[in-house]
Amino acid sequence: MGDRDRAAGSHSRTWAVWLVPAALVLAGWAVARAAAGPAPVPAANQLGQWSPYAVGFGIGILSCISFLISNRPIGVSTAYAQTSGMIGRLVAGSRIDRMAYYRAVKPEIGWEWMLALGVLLGAWLSAVLFGELRVEAAPPLWVAEFGPGAAWRWLAAAAGGVLLGVGSRWAGGCTSGHGISGTLQLVAGSWLAVVCFFVGGVATAFMLY
Amino acid sequence: MLAALRSNKRVQLAAGLAIGVGFGFLLQRGGVTRYEVVIGQLLLQDFTVVKIMLTAIVTGMIGVHALCSAGWATLSKKSGSVGSTVVGGLIFGVGFAVLGYCPGTMIGAVGQGSLDALFGMAGMLAGTAVYAAAYPALSGSILKIGDFGQVTLPELFRVKVWPVVFAVGACLGAILIAVEYAGL
């Protein structure tokens, strides 16, 4: 093993911590520039949306806070596995805890479960504060494309959800765990995963719409 | 102090909740809890999802690696294989387009009143249960194909971390600028 091998992937540069305030200033400047520039005409569904750069910057900062306080990456799909295990335990009892998968992912109210609960509360808070809270059986685009029958949308949503459940556990993460948290840690497999998410998603979307 | 904070279970559950509230708030503000925005991205018409993700990656990449360099955090890497990452990723992609939300944004969609996302959540719970039942068979076969472990890009290319951080940051920045210039 040469020096290069030992140095690969190492984190020995203390000075690098100064990159945090530097990045904050730079990103703040970029956001301010973007906000000051000529605003494009917003599409109907973009009224009231915040700049995607401001939102992305905020999510990046949240990732840092998550690593600092909890030493964990943000990832939502684990909470579904925890919940399905807890529901399974209600139905099938302690048999669930003997299953290989639930021995690896403990069915309990853990950090990830609280994160998912927080996402629900945070989105609700945002919708209330910005007047976007409205009960909607099916999204307007679906109604325009496939007609007003909400039951069909619900069926399609459930089917899509099953695929997301199988796929996210199969790949070991979702758009947050791989797509943001894994990629920002420069994990090669997470970059591969997010490419596959979008290849599958774009191909399917072009077939469906 | 960090160690005490991290070993306190109640503090950690509260931290998870607080980070989730911030995450859900930002997802809703960015519009990605809307079916139209997600489908618009998958049809390559509205690049909101990509803009949010790439900006988050650049910001978080610099910050998290700085925390690691300072010794305040350690990376938490997922291992992968061709059989797990590619196959699972493609199944996920199909579900992503059929549902029009991802696992996190559909929870946010429920929070803003989109009832269809509730059915997506129910489906996803069923899907994870199906996967858990199939896991023993899968883990001995397809998940092992093309195993590459927890390798990171710096390890893969045998270079130090920070040059890769800057290179990836520059590439993602260039993509974002190109997307803006293309008017997407």
Contact B42 A204 (CB under 8 A): yes
With residue A205 as reference, give the H or E element that holds it.
Answer: helix A188-208
Question: How does A162-192 read in b/e, with b if 16+ C-beta sit within 10 Å?
Answer: bbbbbbbbbbbbbbbbbbbbbbbbbbbbbbb
With residue B81 as reference, give the H or E element that holds it.
Answer: strand B80-81
pLDDT at A25: 61
CA distance B178 to chain A (A): 14
* ipTM entry: 0.97
pLDDT at A9: 59
| Interface with chain A: mutation pick from B13, B23, B72, highest number of A CBs within 10 Å | B23
Contact A120 B56 (CB under 8 A): no
Nearest by CB: B111 against A123, A157, A187 = A123
- pLDDT higher than threshold 60 for residue B117: yes
CA distance A42 to chain B (A): 11
| Interface with chain A: mutation pick from B37, B51, B85, B181, highest number of A CBs within 10 Å | B85
More confident residue, B22 or A23: B22
- In DSSP terms, which residues pair with B81 in a beta bridge? B147
pLDDT at B116: 97
Return per-residue pLDDT of chain A as tens, 209 residues: 344 444 555 665 544 555 555 656 666 665 555 555 444 444 444 568 999 999 999 999 999 999 999 999 999 999 999 999 999 999 999 999 999 999 999 999 999 999 999 999 999 999 999 999 999 999 999 999 998 889 999 999 999 999 999 999 999 999 999 999 999 999 999 999 999 999 999 999 999 98
CA distance A201 to B100: 9
pLDDT at A2: 43
In sequence order, the 6+-apart residues with CB closer than 8 A to the CB of B28 are A122, A123, A126, A127, A132, B108, B111, B112
Nearest by CB: A175 against B28, B77, B103 = B103
Nearest CA in chain B to A121: B21
CA distance B173 to chain A (A): 11
- In DSSP terms, which residues pair with B147 in a beta bridge? B81
Q: What is the dihedral of CA A151, A175, B87, A206, to 10 degrees?
A: 60
CA distance A147 to B69: 54
CA distance A129 to A109: 28
Kind of pairing, strands B147-149 and B80-81? antiparallel
Structure tokens at B66: 């700085």
pLDDT tens, residue by residue, B41-65 = 999 999 999 999 999 999 999 999 9
pLDDT at B36: 96
Nearest by CB: A163 against B62, B91, B121 = B91
Cβ atoms of residues B152 and A190 within 8 Å: no
Structure tokens at A147: 């007609």
pLDDT at B29: 98
- pLDDT higher than threshold 50 for residue B142: yes
Please choose, from the candidates B39, B101, B149, the residue with its C-alpha nearest in 3D space to the C-alpha of residue A80: B101
In sequence order, the 6+-apart residues with CB closer than 8 A to the CB of B134 are none
Q: Other CB atoms closer than 10 Å to residue B149's CB: what's the count?
A: 12
CA distance B91 to B88: 5
Please choose, from the candidates B87, B144, B124, B121, the residue with its C-alpha nearest in 3D space to the C-alpha of residue A120: B121
- In DSSP terms, which residues pair with B152 in a beta bridge? A187
CA distance B86 to A192: 7
- DSSP at A80: H
Total residue length of chain A: 209
Mean pLDDT of chain B: 97
Tell me the mean pLDDT in the region B98-110. 98
- DSSP at B152: B
CA distance A106 to A195: 29
Q: Other CB atoms closer than 10 Å to residue B178's CB: what's the count?
A: 10
The packing angle between helices B9-30 and A52-70, to 10°, is: 170
Contact A132 B21 (CB under 8 A): no
Between the CA of residue B146 and those of A89, B28, B34, B83, B85, what are the distances in Å? 34, 38, 36, 6, 10
- pLDDT higher than threshold 90 for residue B80: yes
Least reliable range by pLDDT among A38-47, B31-40, B166-175: A38-47
More confident residue, A19 or B153: B153
pLDDT at A149: 86
The amino acid present at A63, given as its one-letter code, is S
Contact B64 A67 (CB under 8 A): yes
Supply the pTM of this predicted model: 0.88
